[in-house]
Structure 1
Amino acid sequence: MTTFVNPVLSGDRPDPAVIKVGDEYWMTYSSFEAAPGLPLYRSTDLVNWTYVTAALPNPVGNTFAVDIAEHDGRFFIYIPFIPTPWSTLTDASIFVIHADAMSGPWSEPIDLGIRGVIDPGHVVGEDGTRYLFTSGVRRIQLADDGLSTVGELEQVYDGWRYPDDWITEGYSLEGPKLFWRDSYLYLVSAVGGTGGPPTGHMVIVARSQSVHGPWENHPGNPIARTLDAAEPWWSRGHATLVPGPAGTPDDLWWMVSHGYENGYRTLGRQILLEPIRWGEDDWPEAAVRDIGGPLPAPVGAAAQTPQADIEDDFSQLELGSRWTFHAPGPDEAERVRIEDGLVLRGKGASPADTSPLAMLTGDHAYEIEVDVEVEPGLEAGVLLFFNNRLFCGMGIDGERMLSYSGGIRTHWREPAPASNRITLRLRNDEQIVTGWYRVPGGEWTRHAIRYETSGYHANVVGDLLSLRPALYAAGAGEARFRDFRYRALR
């Protein structure tokens, strides 16, 4: 019997949205302040996922939880954007992009004029009318082409209320995902808050025989929740339910959700998969209680493949599939080109405002290494980057080495040689971070200071991101990065 172990897609990939198209599944997730945004992955078995493209080269704002829909042979992604210092938005705003195929090309974002809500969920009512449900849970009608709205938002569902003594972050009714099964329309949503205490986030279900209600709450709510902080996965929620691959029994579906790994909030919310059984009363129920160990895989699933180590000579730029800019300005991609390595034009005055190039990781222990060369007046280097307030790492400016911890430059003056070219290495070994450096042809020297980074996570700085390897260049001029390596240690 083939088994799999969660996560099925590691690293910070919150709020998964999944659609089944024929025999394939497509998925994306909240990409927040990353550009390109909305990476699209494809799978035939829900366990092994392959990157295909990024649907959103130039985000309008901070990209929150989306929904993917197919209607009359056309595909739509409904996107909530949140204002950021680099966007022109002034309120949470829902947009849409569309394409003839999930592989794209995707249109430019179209503003639907919906303000003050997030987490759109698309559904077609029993009369053929299209709707978006949003956080709250509110609803608005869509035009037949899905590219504009009709009327105003209206409150349609107040949620299921958990006992007041449960330890949660806050009620936060959000993430509505809707689907028809037989004669019922099911509404899957999340309550309890996505961060905060490990026992907060949860998955609840309601159903109706009409898109207009009334809604009946599942008598067994919540269908998924972390009951105890000793469990391997925390804050489980924001779920999508989908039928299994061909050959799956009718009473078995699968649920894709997100959660924090116990002890590793620094990795962000990772993608979880678990079986769902349909009871004789037509309610979905979790088929297993513990999703932390090996689970039977969906019908026909291939063996789970681990993330491969990376050796990147920068002969081509892997934007979207590997690297994304954090907090990008307009035309951020113009800062980078391939020429004897990756050339990155400087921006800002320190790592905090450089829009670094970052990559996701889900490993507990890993090393990153890269050769860095700087022009006069420029500082560049390698970081473990959470956001502009929280990062650690080191860089060079041709005269000295600069060290960072806790999002600030430290007072330590590392006795590294003055050089405009040096190879830097960071090792994150279960949240203990050590650095090394060497000049061309020289020996490795360990940086004198180590950092403990278990607190580099969302509950510390109130930002739902993760600690990511990153390359940065600050100031005037350009930096050249060569021979990047990423190696999982175990």
Structure 2
Amino acid sequence: MRLNTILAAIATACLLLAIPVLAAPPTPWKRGIENQRQADLGNGTFLNPVLAGDRPDPSVLKDGQDYYLTLSSFDAYPGLPIWHSRDLVNWQPLGHAITRNVGAIWAPDIVKHGSRYYIYFPARTGETRSNFVVWADNIRGPWSEPIDIGLGGYIDPGHAVGEDGKRYLFLSGGAYVQLADDGLSVAGTPKHVYDGWKYPESWDVEAYAQEGPKINFRNGWYYMTTAVGGTAGPPTGHMVITARSRSIHGPWVNAPNNPITRTRSAAEPWWSRGHATVVEGTDGRWWMMYHGYENGYWTLGRQALLEPIEWTDDGWFVAKGGDLGQPLAKPSGASVGAHGMALSDDFAGPTLGAQWSFFNPGPDEYRRLDFSGDGLALQGKGQTPRDASPLTAIAGDQAYQFEVQMQIAPGAVGGALLFYSDRLYVGLGSNGEKTVMHRYGEERPTRLAPSASGGTLWLRVTNNRHIVTLHTSSDGQTWQKYPVQMEVSGYHHNVAGKFLALKPALYAAGTGTVRFRNFRYRALD
């Protein structure tokens, strides 16, 4: 029998028996290398993205010298993350505005009216959707419980105050509706006010999808900045358009230079650029923040991009950032501190770290968490990652590696994953005695039953530019390579829908608990 035939037979047997194959350990950990792709280059310039990883539909509020940002969080809870900056480039997390699951959240709008902060957002559960609001008197919270304001046929609410002093929400498809004075309910029925701007039929776009209206007031004009072209699909689809009116009630006239910005070629570094918030800098310069996919990395989700704009003599604005592939002059303003947040976690508690969110949690999900011992004990749920509501974190690097120690109690199964959705994930799970591979969102070769004794295991997941390699260890020092590798460049919205991203994740299934210790993440060169 040929040598390669023998090796193939050994690898197949290892896979079927769930026995890892020995391999040399990867290079040692480099301290301090985290999920912090730094936009600020330190020489008066910055390079996009300003927030790497899955940061879609950014909404920015200017509040004096401070900027606050929130984003779509979809099925991740806690949701509606809030970030703080004073220069639009360096951002620090402040927390989240919502913990109770009201459905997949997308396209929020964060505003301040009087002394109170509001976030308006749509959410969908199955085929049911509505619009909600949360409010707080301090940006750091506490935030109110979500209030359902209805408007089930619309998405992407954008808040505005008219010349009459009344409050309005602009909605997808060119509609708007008056709000009650307290902003917590509607005071009428939606009316259509804007037909949008039509791009040439020859352009490659996903769909028309007029959405994400954001309203600015400047020099006697209301500006409505909107997204059209669909948020995924062809790289050249998504775009930013604007229109203006002297009255909040219209008529709205399209800018002569629409689209304001758009990816024109798949060769550009950022794809599907759109869904912008227009915001003034502290020095009088103006900017757009919007999202886009990194060329070749749909898997990272839509990342937050910052582009300078300039106002013309006739009162329109033009984009000045090009394809965003080169450094740009940085906005003024002081840094609020180290940008981003570390993903590594020793689970010292007493609460869940800001980097973690449950996928589609139930009402009592947080009762699964126990920090009373060494590390995080997570009560099992469901039988596989798809029904276990894994804990996920947002990675912003093209190549990275993470590892974790698991103490698996009898009756439990625990694992480490790259998780896109309940239908698509990859990684390893263990009952403490045997290991199973999660591949394509399935358990291969078969579902792993909990054991009566449990055990301790270390897992390592490496995602090196879509090549996934898995390792196990019984002591955290000597590592064994799993005999199957994956290529996961197709784990994204254009394949599986849902507008999500591929994220590092941990899960606990079954009836027992899994205690996680020493989660370590590092970016790779």
TM-score, normalisation: structure 1 = 0.95
**Structure 1 residue 398, shift from structure 2 partner:** 2.3
Partner of residue 14, structure 1 = 56
2:79 matches 1:44: no
2:317 matches 1:284: yes
Moved more, 356-365 or 394-403: 394-403
**Alpha-carbon displacement from aligned partner over 1:55-90 (angstroms, at most 9, x marks no partner):** 111131111111112112111111111114xxxxx6
Say which SS state the counterpart of residue 460 (structure 1) adopts: helix
**Structure 1 residue 311, shift from structure 2 partner:** 3.6
Within 5 Å, give how 1:273-352 maps onto structure 2: 273-300=306-333, 302=335, 310-316=343-349, 319=352, 321-338=354-371, 339-352=373-386
**Structure 1 residue 45, shift from structure 2 partner:** 0.2
Moved more, 217-226 or 305-314: 305-314
Instruction: Check whether the contact 1:47–1:301 (CA below 8 A) recurs between aligned residues.
Output: no
Distance, in Å, in 1 between the alignment partners of 2:250 and 2:101 is 35
2:129 matches 1:92: yes
RMSD of aligned residue pairs (Cα, Å):
1.9
Instruction: Check whether the contact 1:39–1:320 (CA below 8 A) recurs between aligned residues.
Output: no
Instruction: Check whether the contact 1:419–1:439 (CA below 8 A) recurs between aligned residues.
Output: no
2:397 matches 1:363: yes
Q: Identify which of 375, 396, 404 aligns with 2:409.
A: 375
Distance, in Å, in 1 between the alignment partners of 2:341 and 2:358 is 22
Partner of residue 103, structure 1 = 140
Moved more, 443-452 or 165-174: 443-452
Gaps of 5+ in 2: 1-42
Instruction: Check whether the contact 1:91–1:116 (CA below 8 A) recurs between aligned residues.
Output: no
Instruction: Check whether the contact 2:401–2:521 (CA below 8 A) recurs between aligned residues.
Output: yes
Partner of residue 151, structure 1 = 188
Say which SS state the counterpart of residue 151 (structure 1) adopts: coil
Instruction: Check whether the contact 1:312–1:484 (CA below 8 A) recurs between aligned residues.
Output: yes
Distance, in Å, in 2 between the alignment partners of 1:101 and 1:237 is 30
The residue type equivalent to 2:238 in the other structure is: H
Identical aligned residues as a percent: 53
**Structure 1 residue 125, shift from structure 2 partner:** 0.5
The residue type equivalent to 2:85 in the other structure is: S
Distance, in Å, in 2 between the alignment partners of 1:303 and 1:106 is 23
Distance, in Å, in 1 between the alignment partners of 2:344 and 2:169 is 43
Instruction: Check whether the contact 1:309–1:488 (CA below 8 A) recurs between aligned residues.
Output: no
Instruction: Check whether the contact 2:346–2:519 (CA below 8 A) recurs between aligned residues.
Output: yes
Gaps of 5+ in 1: 85-89
**Structure 1 residue 278, shift from structure 2 partner:** 0.5
**Structure 1 residue 290, shift from structure 2 partner:** 2.5
Distance, in Å, in 1 between the alignment partners of 2:520 and 2:342 is 8
Partner of residue 240, structure 1 = 277
The residue type equivalent to 2:90 in the other structure is: N
Within 5 Å, give how 1:244-283 maps onto structure 2: 244-245=281-282, 248=283, 250=284, 252-283=285-316
Distance, in Å, in 2 between the alignment partners of 1:452 and 1:270 is 22
Tell me: CA distance 1:419–1:147, structure 2 relative to 1, closer, same or farther (3 Å): closer
Within 5 Å, give how 1:402-421 maps onto structure 2: 402-411=436-445, 420-421=455-456
**Structure 1 residue 113, shift from structure 2 partner:** 2.1
Moved more, 379-388 or 396-405: 396-405
2:471 matches 1:429: no
**Structure 1 residue 319, shift from structure 2 partner:** 3.3
The residue type equivalent to 2:478 in the other structure is: E
Within 5 Å, give how 1:58-77 maps onto structure 2: 58-77=100-119
The residue type equivalent to 2:523 in the other structure is: A
How many pairs were matched up?
A: 479
Instruction: Check whether the contact 1:382–1:394 (CA below 8 A) recurs between aligned residues.
Output: yes
Distance, in Å, in 2 between the alignment partners of 1:303 and 1:153 is 40
**Structure 1 residue 288, shift from structure 2 partner:** 2.5
**Structure 1 residue 179, shift from structure 2 partner:** 1.1
Instruction: Check whether the contact 1:379–1:474 (CA below 8 A) recurs between aligned residues.
Output: yes
Within 5 Å, give how 1:455-470 maps onto structure 2: 455-470=490-505
The residue type equivalent to 2:252 in the other structure is: W
2:507 matches 1:472: yes
Distance, in Å, in 1 between the alignment partners of 2:317 and 2:162 is 21
The residue type equivalent to 2:184 in the other structure is: L
